[in-house]
Amino acid sequence: MTTQDELKQQAAVAAVERVESGMVVGLGTGSTTQFALERLADLIKIGKLKRIVGIPSSLRTEKTARELGIPLTDFGAHPVIDLTIDGADEVDPDLNLIKGGGGALLREKVLAQASRCNIIIVDESKLSPRLGTKWALPVEVVPFARAVEEHFLKSIGAAVTVRAKEGKTAATDQGNILLDARFGPMQDPGRIAERLNARAGIVEHGLFIGLTHDVIVAGKDGIRHLTRSA
């Protein structure tokens, strides 16, 4: 029986097949994209991919990429990314996403908005009829605004948990706090995104609306591609 990690690896390998020599590649964060990083590094080492540079979406991904020998760059040198490969926590039928389970949602969204093409790699367990059915929505908040934004999220119907790690409040790469807001199945995730975007204390949230070009799904019946309808 195929394990979840094997499915993730299959999706990652399929995504890296889209990378061409000379590309600027956005490097996502998470367990699925770890497999993509390893595959990309292998192809660079054997010379199948040349002149590849990556822009990492987190300090963790930056560290991994350096260890694997993937050349890195930044937006100062390359303000446009050719192709970003990243994972997702939940994917709806319109290819909207919840991301941020790994805490890198802000930088992941910066990469997504700067990319000509965003490829999301998942195993089939991440597909959902409505965002919020399976996952809470990560919301990154400046520490000063923690109480007021927690109150706001509750006022619009969310159950809120402060993200913790090893018994302490978890911090993002920017030093902010993550509030996991459980809305349940979202009837209109775009409207929720608009309301969160209007809040000064909310730095970013994990709703990725209209940013995905291709979702590669690995399941028991093999690999399939989901693309956005025109």
> Are 74 and 26 within 8 A, CB to CB?
no
Q: Which residue in 6, 38, 90, 108 is the catalytic one? A: 108
The maximal CA–CA distance of the chain, rounded, in angstroms, is 55
Rounded to 5 degrees, what angle do the CA atoms 23, 219, 95 make? Answer: 60
Q: Please, what sign has the CA dihedral across residues 213, 218, 220, 221?
A: positive
Whether 149 is a known active-site residue: answer: no
Of 205, 166, 177, nearest to 189 (Cα)?
Answer: 205
**What would the DSSP string read from start to end of 99-163?**
--TTS-HHHHHHHHHTBS-EEEEEEGGGB-SSTTSS-PEEEEE-GGGHHHHHHHHHHTT-EEEE-
Q: How far apart are CA 187 and CA 204, in angstroms?
A: 20
**What would the DSSP string read from start to end of 184-210?**
-S-S-HHHHHHHHHT-TTEEEESEE-S
Q: How far apart are CA 85 and CA 89, in angstroms?
A: 14
Q: How far apart are CA 135 and CA 92, in angstroms?
A: 12
Residues annotated as catalytic (active site), given as ranges: 108
